[in-house]
Structure 1
Amino acid sequence: MAEITPAAPAARTRPRRSWWGWGAEDRALPDSECVALGALVPGAADTPLPVPDVRSVELPKPRISPPASLAHLMSDAPQDRASHTYGKAYRDVVRALRGELGAAPDQVVYPRGEQDVVDVLDWAAGADVVVVPYGAGSSVVGGVEYRGDRRGGVVSLDLAGLDRVLDIDTVGRAARIQAGVLGPDLEARLRPHGLTLRHFPQSFEFSTLGGWLATRAGGHYATLLTHIDDLTQSLRVVTPVGVNESLRVPGSGAGPSPDRLFLGSEGTLGVITEAWMRLQDRPRHKASASFVFGDFKAAAAAVRAIAQSGLNPANCRLLDPGEAALAGVAGGGRSVLVLGVESAHFPVDDRLAELATLARDHGGSPAGGTAGRPSAGGAGDDSAAGAWRSAFLRMPYLRDALARMSVISETFETACTWGRADALYEAVHWDLGAVVREVTGAEGMINCRFTHVYPDGPAPYFTVIAAARRGSELAMWDEIKAAAMEVLGAHGATVTHHHAVGRDHRPGYDRQRPEPFARALRAAKGALDPAGILNPGVLFDGERSRAGRTPPARRGQNE
């Protein structure tokens, strides 16, 4: 039997979160840097939009008062309500800068344990109060914003208090983890055991395990373990009709997977409170290398060869010329391929050399004249890879700065088969580029990188940058985004690879999803959430399953 040991707590000084934009408040660009950045985009505004003082932003009066039994868990403080109104998409940032917070929840609930979640759902179902589960608020698809009628009120259910690593199985390399733990805290608690979840999305510092699970997040690995699904052993979920806990086994063929029902359900079917997650030994050997290509199609062919080689690099990011120039890793119309390999047990020099051979065979040249030199300590990193990583982590803050200068700066991501990849890439640049010119009156910029790659296709991630008319930014971006979804659909690409559906991707998801599955999903919603209180409007329409129905009596967590 596996040895189960409690995880030691780890203290961490958390940065003060920005209520209106991405990440840490003190990392946002000051006005002077916003102006300098905006000057690089023809047609940008001359001055940045001011950041409102949250204390002066007008919020709608709360429509509900907490019941006495839950009052100690709830807050209607302006800071809490404002910071839980939106996620962190471009359109969220713009609306927050304008002080448009009419969608603010009436109350923010901070449960301290699973029983609190049970009690909140019981109360909400009886009071017809909408409950929007909230991890750390880094959604970029409208996943934590309620847009429907206010019904009996709206509460944001913030799971930050469920932040413990409950058990660590050092023999089976797994851990039972509560859903509210942030990425850095989770890794800090696993580190003393020599283990890691090894799941590092761009939002790692500002997102939670529960959020990753609910949105089927993509993480560190560009190949093999690309999604959080691959790391999930079992889930525990509180639904309005009972607690659902799946069997913890390495694999099972017993019918459709109960975990698959809740992975990616985005808080519409239940609230994920904890999970057993598969862990790995911490890598000790690492190396990276970067290659430049004069032709993007040749670079994409190199990536396909790598993805189909079975070498499975941990990092395989292809930056097109625009993305490479924006990140400061290459110019002159060249594309850059960033490769990384790692192992907990064996040196990786030979595997990196094999990957380098495939890159060279397709016309790639080592960036800076080196194919990567792993150090004896296993922390090898070439300069292009390091520069790209720094730019990658800084990019959301630059997006916010451009938003303040009335510049559209937003992304959309997808996945398609290799046979469709070249045509999709060209269509986005030509067809969507024409829409950007028509909508904004400027040429704009559309960049692309491959974030994850599979033997059967890549996951392209596109960035659109263009000056907008002040006051019309959202209408202009919405028109561009709608056109982007049309291009993806026309080329057989998914509406999202790892950002989830939320409310922003609903039109494309409705077209992509088979109707028999849609009926099954709606039936599951009706069975698990008969009062229709959980995150209405995400994945499917937000009407109550049975208007006026009294919710059934439910069991507590230990029954």
Structure 2
Amino acid sequence: MGKFLGGASMKTRSWWGWGWEQDALSDAECVGLGALVPGTSAAPLPVPALTDVAPPAPRLTAPASLAAVVSAEPADRVAHTMGKAYRDVVRALRGKLGRIPDLVAFPESEQDVVDLLDWASREEIAVIPYGGGSSVVGGVEYRGDSHPAVLSVDLTRMNRVLEVDRVSRAARIQAGALGPVLEEQLRAYGLTLRHYPQSFEFSTLGGWLATRAGGHYATLHTRIDDFTESLRVVTPVGISASRRLPGSGAGPSPDGLFLGSEGTLGVITEAWMRLQDPPRHKASASVTFEDFTQAMECVRQLAQSGLHPANCRLLDPGEAELSGADPDGRSVLVLGFESAHHPVDGPLTQALEVARAHGGTARRSEGGTGDSVAAWRSAFLRMPYIRDGLARMGAIAETFETACTWDRAQDLYEAIHGEVGAAVAKVTGAPARITCRFTHVYPDGPAPYITVIAAGRPGAEVAMWDEIKQVACEVLDAHGATITHHHAVGRDHRPGYDRQRPGPFALALDAAKRALDPGGVLNPGVLVR
């Protein structure tokens, strides 16, 4: 559990749900939400107290040489048990946590990480690398009993910008830096990474790299990969340090091996990251569409236009209503341009011309009441807290996301509403609210992000969601879509990932795992056997 001093007040991270304890919905707000989902409870489940959880005694003791960076405190152990997926929140609310780590390490240097992995490899201790703990795919919890003990390794004390190359516009940054901590240090140099996932406050650079996270930009620089210059990774057999280069054709990329490896091949400790000058010019607008198919075609043309909007997020009618961007059953396109070097009114004007040619009605954003862009931005940041509030009322409220090529997008959208909707009705006995937005768009396809809201049965919510999610994964596979665009694989997406990856690549990944982690201690169950 972390604390952050903001203004005059101290905020505390929630151990069981999203974000800050102080920003969680009140009981009255939860009841108001529940009224919008027929069949949910009349009163919310109580917020679980950390002191109510009594973890079993640790199964091991850290050696004296590591005692200064290892904690056996119950609060640390419980708070590092799970991530922040819907199923994690419900399990915490119901008091059904998974296997609690025996110890939590807080390394303060790369040598600490080396020593921790050496110890864990000797003793066959499972090591779960942990950044901000915002995983929504079971990426930071241990499942099973094949290891005698579990060690969670929290990197957030390794959070400094170590070196800045202003000429090349890059910086060497420790992997444990949370988003706000990283940006505050870069601000002193007049630079920014400008990678803002929804979890920005509660996730780390290392977590972004290990999961190939999607960020602020809806086009062009969509992923953390695009900003990565080189990586430094501690593995059980040695340190991998790639060379800083703007580009290279020298064989397979060593960084490519560790980007997206989710802590299974090594612990990322540092990275050289490409930076930017902060934007000085910004312009945004919203566009409403009566026809979602026309809206999709508009977004395809924008993605292929070379205009590269920073924000190009399409909300279907359900998502637009849910976010407050449009209550009248229309789709909404949120458009934004930004630059550190030149005005952006021209590109925005060109983009709006494309939108109008597809039947869109545009409105420049001024940030006042009724502004769709402002409403969407506020809902975007608030949505995880709303999900937790719905969970307290016994609702199923979760998301899944994907990406596909444009030629399959319409069929996939219809299949999700039809087949996943039918699965929800079968599992819950009631119709679901299914909404969609495109979070990122590419010249060759969109990244749809789906929200599912329905009433659950008390005590059965996790099993019900698992059944619905299974159908969703089958739909994605049948339409040639990816099992995940930016949420990573974790443990929850392993079956879908196993189907998606080519057989020879799976053999190569297995071999890399055996070579780099011969004891099989790093994040067991993620990506590989």
Q: In structure 2, what is the Cα distance between the partners aligned to 1:102 and 1:335?
A: 40
Report whether the alignment pairs 1:462 with 2:450. Answer: yes
Q: Classify the secondary structure of the residue corresponding to 1:325.
A: helix
Q: In structure 2, what is the Cα distance between the partners aligned to 1:330 and 1:69?
A: 59
In structure 2, the residue matched to 1:554 is none
| 1:315-350 per-position Cα deviation (integer Å, ceiling 9, x unaligned) | 000000000000011122200000000010111111
Pick from 108, 113, 136 the counterpart of residue 132 of structure 2. 136
| 1:340-378 per-position Cα deviation (integer Å, ceiling 9, x unaligned) | 000101111111100000010000002xxx3346xxxxx
| Distance 1:239-1:380 versus aligned 2 partners, 3 A rule | farther
Deviation of 1:31 (Å): 1.0
Equivalenced residue count is 524
Pick from 330, 334, 338 the counterpart of residue 330 of structure 2. 334
Deviation of 1:66 (Å): 1.1
Deviation of 1:105 (Å): 0.3
Q: Is contact 2:98–2:142 with CA below 8 Å preserved after alignment?
A: no
- The residue identity in structure 2 corresponding to 1:477 is W
Deviation of 1:309 (Å): 0.4
Q: Classify the secondary structure of the residue corresponding to 1:451.
A: strand
| 1:166-217 per-position Cα deviation (integer Å, ceiling 9, x unaligned) | 0111110000000000101111111122211010000000000000000000
Q: In structure 2, what is the Cα distance between the partners aligned to 1:354 and 1:409?
A: 38
In structure 1, the residue matched to 2:486 is 498
| 1:268-316 per-position Cα deviation (integer Å, ceiling 9, x unaligned) | 0000000000001110000100000001101000000100000000000
Q: Classify the secondary structure of the residue corresponding to 2:12.
A: coil
| 1:129-184 per-position Cα deviation (integer Å, ceiling 9, x unaligned) | 01000001000000001102152200100001100000111110000000000101
| Distance 1:36-1:380 versus aligned 2 partners, 3 A rule | closer
In structure 1, the residue matched to 2:364 is 371
In structure 2, the residue matched to 1:480 is 468
Matches within 5 A, 1:329-408: 329-366=325-362, 370-372=363-365, 383-408=371-396
Q: In structure 1, what is the Cα distance between the partners aligned to 2:489 and 2:283?
A: 35
Report whether the alignment pairs 1:293 with 2:286. Answer: no
| 1:383-403 per-position Cα deviation (integer Å, ceiling 9, x unaligned) | 211110000000000000000
Deviation of 1:382 (Å): 8.6
Report whether the alignment pairs 1:269 with 2:265. Answer: yes
Structure 1 range deviating more: 52-61 or 137-146? 52-61
- The residue identity in structure 2 corresponding to 1:521 is L
Structure 1 stretches of 4+ moved >6 Å: 10-14, 379-382
Report whether the alignment pairs 1:230 with 2:226. Answer: yes
In structure 2, the residue matched to 1:430 is 418
Matches within 5 A, 1:58-97: 58-97=54-93
In structure 1, the residue matched to 2:514 is 526
Matches within 5 A, 1:314-333: 314-333=310-329
In structure 2, the residue matched to 1:278 is 274
Q: In structure 2, what is the Cα distance between the partners aligned to 1:519 and 1:271?
A: 22
The TM-score with structure 2 as length reference comes to: 0.97
| 1:68-91 per-position Cα deviation (integer Å, ceiling 9, x unaligned) | 111111112121111100000000
- The residue identity in structure 1 corresponding to 2:432 is G
In structure 2, the residue matched to 1:549 is none
Q: In structure 2, what is the Cα distance between the partners aligned to 1:381 and 1:282?
A: 27
Q: In structure 1, what is the Cα distance between the partners aligned to 2:246 and 2:69?
A: 37
Identity %: 69
Q: Classify the secondary structure of the residue corresponding to 2:454.
A: strand
In structure 2, the residue matched to 1:552 is none
In structure 2, the residue matched to 1:20 is 16
Deviation of 1:443 (Å): 0.4
In structure 2, the residue matched to 1:49 is 45
Pick from 149, 153, 160 the counterpart of residue 157 of structure 1. 153
Q: In structure 2, what is the Cα distance between the partners aligned to 1:23 and 1:385?
A: 23
Q: Which runs of 5+ in 2 are unaligned?
A: none
In structure 2, the residue matched to 1:489 is 477
Report whether the alignment pairs 1:239 with 2:235. Answer: yes
Superposition CA RMSD, Å: 1.4
Report whether the alignment pairs 1:412 with 2:400. Answer: yes
Q: In structure 2, what is the Cα distance between the partners aligned to 1:266 and 1:385?
A: 33
Q: In structure 1, what is the Cα distance between the partners aligned to 2:200 and 2:368?
A: 22
Q: Is contact 2:435–2:451 with CA below 8 Å preserved after alignment?
A: yes
Q: Classify the secondary structure of the residue corresponding to 1:251.
A: coil
- The residue identity in structure 2 corresponding to 1:53 is A
